[in-house]
Amino acid sequence: MSTSDNLPKADGNEENKIETLENHSDEHQTSKDDDLQASENQNLEENTIDDAEKKEADEVIDTSITESDIANSDTTNTAEKQSSDVENTEDSNANTQVESQQNTSENTTDQNAEIPQELASSTSDHIHDQMNEAVAAHSEDETTMESHEIEKKDYHAMSKEELVKELRILIKNEKVQTIKEHVEEIKTEFNNKFNEEVEQKKEEFLANGGDIIDFYYSTPIKKEFNSAYFDYKEKRNAYYQNLKKDLQENFNRRLELIEELKGLLNVDENINTTYNHFKSIQERWRNAGPIPRDKYNTVWNTYHHHTENFYDFLHLNREFRDLDFKHNLEQKLKIIERATELAQETDVNRAFRELQLLHKMWKEDLGPVSKEYREPIWEKFSLLTKQIHENRQLYFKELDKVYEKNLEVKREIIANITEVGQDQPKSHNGWQQKIKEIEALREQFFKAGKVPSNVNEQTWSEFKSAVRDFNRNKNAFYKGLKKEQFENLNKKMELIQIAEDNKDSDDFSVTTPLMKKIQSDWKKIGHVPRKDSDKIWKRFKDACNFYFDRLHAERNEANKEEVVALEKKQEHIESLKSLELSGDPEADLATIKENIATWKGIGRVPYKKKNIEAEYNKILDNLFQQLNLSRKETELIKYDNKLNTLSNQTDDRAIRNEQSFIRKKIDEVNAEIRQLENNLQFFKNAKDDNPLVIDVLKNIEKHKENLDVWKAKLKKIKQL
C-alpha cells in the first residue's frame, strides 16, 4: 500500500475547500518546508527538458512577454535595450546561484535522501519543469491566464475585412497584454491572404507588359489593417515599458525583504516578537507584486533558503512549528483534492491552467508540513499532475486527427483547383466561369480548418502554386485577348471617323443608310480595352445622335405638312361624296380629272394614314362607273396621278423600280393565264354549260383584262 493512501483527510466543510484554495491568504500561513522545497527545486533545475514536449507545452504556458521581448519592442530606446542586455547577462548565472543555494539547503536539511526514486524520472521532472516555468510566467504578468479566456476564432476562414474588424474589437475590448497570440495569428492570416492577392496582381501587371520596377499595389483594407496593428503595437509597447519599470521596483523590494529575513537570525529579542516579525515579512512578500520572469526562480529559491534557516532557528519553539505544519497540511490536502477533480475535467486546457495556479499556491503560499507527510503528499500531487498532463496530451492527439482530416479536405481542394486550371477556355465568358469556380474553391480552402503544423507551410505553398498556375493561364489568355481588343479598337475608331465626317450631311437619303450601316458594323466588332470602351462609345454615340437628331427634326417639320395634307384630303373626300355628275360624260370626266389633280396637289399624308388613298380610289371607282368607262380607262386615268408624282422626282430610280414592278406583274399575269388554259385541257369532254368550265373561262378573261391594263401602264411610263 502506498503511503499516499494513509494521508489524513482535510479538516473543515468539504464545500468550502475550493473557496479556501482561492482565498489562500491566511493569518496562520508560515514559511516553506525547508527539506521538501530544497528537494523540489533541485529536481526542477537539474533535469533536462525534452524539446518536443517543451514545444507543445509552450503553446499554452509561454504566453507572457520576456525581458528580451520588452527590450526589443518597437518604441524602446537604446538605454532600455542596454539595460535588458545586462539583465540577460545576469540571468545567465542564475542556474549557478540556484544550485549553490540548493546545495546549502541540502546540507542544512538533508532532504535529498528522502526523495522517492520515481520522482527522479525524466518525464516527471519534465512535467514539473513545465509547471515551474508556468508559475514563473504567471508571476511576471498576472494577466497571463486571461489570454486563455479570450475566444480564439477560426481566423483562417475569415476574409481580410473580417480579420481587420476582429483586430479592432480585440484592441478595444481586451487588455493589450492578453491578446498577443490572437493578434499574431490574425496578422499571419491577413498577410497570407494579402500576399496572395499581391502576387496575382503582380502577374497580371507583368502579363500586361509592365516593368517589375514600376509595380506597386495597396488597398484601403491593407491600410486599415496597418493602422489597427500600429495602434496595437503602441498600446503594447506602452504597457510593457511600464511593466518593466514595475517589475524592477518589485524585484528590489523583494531583495530588501530577503535581507530583512536574513537579519532575523541575529536579532536578540523575545521569540514571540521575532516570530511576529517573520509573519510580517511573509505578508509583505506576498503583496510585493510580480518580478521579472528570468529572476523569479533565483529570488524565490533565495527566499526559501533563508525561510528554511529561520525554521531551523525556530525549532526550539515547537508550538509555532506544529501550528504551521498543521495548517499547511490542511491546505495542501485541499489542493490535492482539487487536483483530483481536475483529473476528471473534460476541458483539459481549463484543467491545465488551473493546475498551474495550484502549483503556484503550493509553492508560494504554503509552507512545510511534518516530515511523515512530506513525501506522500508530494507524491500524490505529482501523480495527479502527471495524469492531467496525460489527459491533455491525449486531447492533442485527438485534435491532430481532426487536423489530419482537414488536411485531406484541403489536398482534395488543391487537386480540384489544379483540375479546373488545366481546362483552358477559349472565350471571355468561359474564363469568367472558371474564375468563379476558383473563387468558390478558395473559400472552401479557407473554411476547411487547420492542418498539422508540420505540413502547414507545405499545404499553403501547394495551394498558392495551384492558384498561381491558374492565374498565369488566365493572364496569358487575356494578354492575347488584349491584342484582339486593340485591333477592335482601331476598327471602331475608323467607324467613329466616318460618323463624325457625315454627322453634318444634309443628303439624308444617302447618309441615313450609311449611318445605319456603321451602327450595325459597330455591334459586330466585339470588345475593346476596358479603359477605352466608355470613351470611344461616347464619341460614336454623340456623332450618330447628332446626325439622327437633325434627321428627326427634318422629318418632324415634314410631318407637320403631312398632317395638314391629311386634313385637306379628308375634306376633299367629304366633298367628293356629295358630288353629283351632270350626265354629260365628257364634262363629268373633266370634273373627275380636275378633282384628281386637286388631290394630287395636296401632297403626302403621314405613313400611318396612307389607307386614305384606298378610300379615295373607292370613291373614284364609283364615279367612273357612273360614266360607263371601261376598267382599263379608269385604271389609266388614276395611274396618271402616280406618273405625275414619279416624273417630279429628281432621282430616276423610282421610275426604274416602277417599270420593273410592272414587268414583273405582266409576267405573273401571263403565267396565271397559261395555268388556267392548261387546266381547260382537263375539261375537253365537258359541256360548255359546266360550272367549272364557265368559272375558268371567266378567270382567263379577267386576267387578260388585267394584262391589257398592265401593258398600257408600261407603255405610259416608257413615254416619260
Mean pLDDT, range 421-446, rounded to an integer: 86
CB atoms within 10 A of CB 306: 22
Grid look-up 416608257 returns: 718
b/e burial code for range 128-163 (CB count within 10 A of at least 16 → b): bbbbbbbbbbbbbbebbbebeeeeeeebbbbebeeb
The backbone torsions φ and ψ at residue 471, rounded to the nearest 5 degrees and listed phi first, read: -65, -35
Per-residue pLDDT at 540: 92
Higher pLDDT, 341 or 6: 341
CB atoms within 10 A of CB 628: 8
What is the DSSP track for 646-693? HHT-S-THHHHHHHHHHHHHHHHHHHHHHHHHHHHGGGTTS-TT-HHH
**97: CB partners within 8 A, 6+ apart:** 298, 302
163-172, 502-511, 628-637: least confidently modelled range: 628-637
Half-sphere exposure of 209 (CA within 13 A, CB side): 5
Per-residue pLDDT at 380: 92
- Rounded (to 5) percent helix, strand, coil in the chain: 80, 0, 20
**82: pLDDT strictly greater than 90:** no
Calpha distance 160→672 (Å, rounded): 82
Domain boundaries, the chain: 121-145+317-451, 485-557, 649-719
Per-residue pLDDT at 144: 56
Per-residue pLDDT at 8: 54
Per-residue pLDDT at 609: 77
Per-residue pLDDT at 311: 73
Q: Hey, what's the cell of 196?
A: 496572395
Q: What is the pLDDT of residues 299-321, one digit of tens each?
A: 888 888 888 788 777 665 667 67
Q: Hey, what's the cell of 93?
A: 548565472
Cα angle, residue 622 at apex, residues 621 and 627 outer, rounded to 5°: 90
Place 542 in a pLDDT band, splitting at 50, 70 and 90: very high
Place 97 in a pLDDT band, splitting at 50, 70 and 90: very low
Calpha distance 4→658 (Å, rounded): 126
Mean pLDDT, range 610-614, rounded to an integer: 81
Q: What sections of 503-529 are H helices per DSSP?
A: 508-525
pTM listed for this prediction: 0.46
Grid look-up 518580478 returns: 291
Calpha distance 513→515 (Å, rounded): 6
**149: pLDDT strictly greater than 50:** yes
Angstrom distances, CA of residue 638 to CA of 614, 645, 674:
12, 12, 29
b/e burial code for range 413-432 (CB count within 10 A of at least 16 → b): bbebbeebbeeeeeeeeebe
Per-residue pLDDT at 336: 93
Q: What is the pLDDT of residues 661-677, one digit of tens each?
A: 888 988 988 888 888 88
> Is residue 364 within 8 Å of 323, Cβ to Cβ?
no
Per-residue pLDDT at 558: 63
> Is residue 266 within 8 Å of 217, Cβ to Cβ?
no
Per-residue pLDDT at 328: 87
Calpha distance 526→488 (Å, rounded): 7
Helical packing angle, 631-647 and 585-602, nearest 10°: 30
b/e burial code for range 669-688 (CB count within 10 A of at least 16 → b): beebbeebeeeeeeeeeeee
Q: What is the pLDDT of residues 249-287, one digit of tens each?
A: 888 988 999 998 888 877 767 777 888 888 888 888 888
Most confident of the ranges 459-473, 587-601, 675-689: 459-473
Q: Which of 465, 379, 380 is nearest to 196 (CA)?
A: 465
Calpha distance 629→485 (Å, rounded): 70
Report the residue count for the chain. 720
Calpha distance 619→576 (Å, rounded): 7
Mean pLDDT, range 468-497, rounded to an integer: 85
Mean pLDDT, range 83-90, rounded to an integer: 33
Place 128 in a pLDDT band, splitting at 50, 70 and 90: low
**175: CB partners within 8 A, 6+ apart:** 143, 146
Place 333 in a pLDDT band, splitting at 50, 70 and 90: very high
> Is residue 304 within 8 Å of 32, Cβ to Cβ?
yes
**471: pLDDT strictly greater than 80:** yes
Place 141 in a pLDDT band, splitting at 50, 70 and 90: low
Place 2 in a pLDDT band, splitting at 50, 70 and 90: very low
3-state SS of 394-421?
Answer: HHHHHHHHHHHHHHHHHHHHHHHHHHHH
> Is residue 353 within 8 Å of 57, Cβ to Cβ?
no
Angstrom distances, CA of residue 470 to CA of 200, 463, 483:
10, 11, 20
Higher pLDDT, 399 or 123: 399
Long-range CB contact pairs, 191-195, < 8 A, 24+? 192/460, 193/159, 193/160, 193/163, 193/446, 194/160, 194/219, 194/222, 194/225
Average pLDDT taken over every residue of the chain: 74
